[in-house]
Amino acid sequence: MIDYIFDTLRVFYSINAEHIEKVQGGWSADAYSVKTKNSNYFLKVFDKHRHTGEFWIDRIDYYMPIVFWLNDNTSFKDELVMPISANDGSYKFENADNVFMLYPYINGYTLAEKRLSSAQQKDLAAIVSNLHMCGQKIPENMLHDVENFDVSFCDELLSIMETRSTNSNLPKKIWNNYKNSIAENIKILKQYAEELPRENLQFVLCHTDLHGWNLMQADKLLLLDWEGLKLAPAEADIFSFTEGFFFDYVYDSFMSVYQHIYPDYVVNQKAMDFYRIRRRLEDITDFAKNILFDNISESDMSKSLRALERECSLLCDNFK
């Protein structure tokens, strides 16, 4: 794969790399550090043959024009990392197997599982609240992804649970311990999915995937990976700050800054519970599909199994 990347960068980006190294990536794509004689880059490579990557690849041509609009028309210019164009002027290079997106290397660090400092808590709250207000300014023809409270993936998860016994990669103890909790929460989620469209919810522009792996501290705090960008209730972002999720320890300080900038916001508890449950069940589904359908290494298999059991346990703990 490394040799393939060397050739792709040379031919389609006119970049002669001297060193390429695989680094910690996200759920949607593999990541590589690229070094040339004079510059450093960060490369994301989406695999078209990976089941868990199909959704994210399909999203690229939707969210990137919005990101460019934010960069050109709002204060987000300083909070965004913009891709480097390929030789044809596109923000990506695509072939039969992969999609490449190349970015300048940013001196800083990914927050990952580090706790937010007081300054970072305020910065993140300001970023999220300003993002939610920007949706009112973006041209309507760009915002065609609007929350419809779709939970159709639940049927796929139920199918996986029913056929678990035919695949030894999914340990019996996981499903036996958590199948009742999963089934109960699917029932609750489907009920909320029917009820929420009938409520008078205000939709805002949401990132929908706020966690430490999508935050980088450089000269400023940067929000990365905009694949999930959509119009949705604010709770689609704010659930990340609630109990059991990524930033639950900063909920009060986050809300203090958020509501100072966005004073009209009032929490809709049903919407909050919807996003909390849906995120857990989506992650359980994705990890199960990764284990079942993707040709992953033994090391990645072990990581996915641990992550699957962790998400099942958190679902059980948080939604008893």
Count of structural domains within the chain: 2
Helix, strand, or coil (residue 192):
helix
292 and 210 in a single domain? The answer is yes
Confidence grade of residue 172 (pLDDT, cut at 50, 70, 90): confident
118 and 262 in a single domain? The answer is yes
> Parallel, antiparallel, or unpaired: how do β-strands 109-110 and 98-104 relate?
unpaired
261 and 137 in a single domain? The answer is yes
189 and 243 in a single domain? The answer is yes
71 and 146 in a single domain? The answer is no
Show the domain range for 199. 106-320
Instruction: Calculate mean pLDDT across residues 259-274.
Output: 93
Ranges 22-26, 141-145, 195-199: which has the least confidence:
22-26
What are residue 44's DSSP bridge partners?
31, 101
Cα–Cα dist 181/175, whole Å: 10
Q: Which two tokens stand for residue 136?
A: 């009112």
Q: Which two tokens stand for residue 254?
A: 């986050």
- For the stretch 61-106, pLDDT in tens is 999 999 999 999 988 877 889 999 999 999 999 999 999 999 999 9
Cα–Cα dist 197/32, whole Å: 41
Cα–Cα dist 177/175, whole Å: 5
Confidence grade of residue 167 (pLDDT, cut at 50, 70, 90): low
What are residue 101's DSSP bridge partners?
44
What percent of the chain shows pLDDT beyond 70?
A: 96
12 and 79 in a single domain? The answer is yes
At 100, the amino acid letter reads F
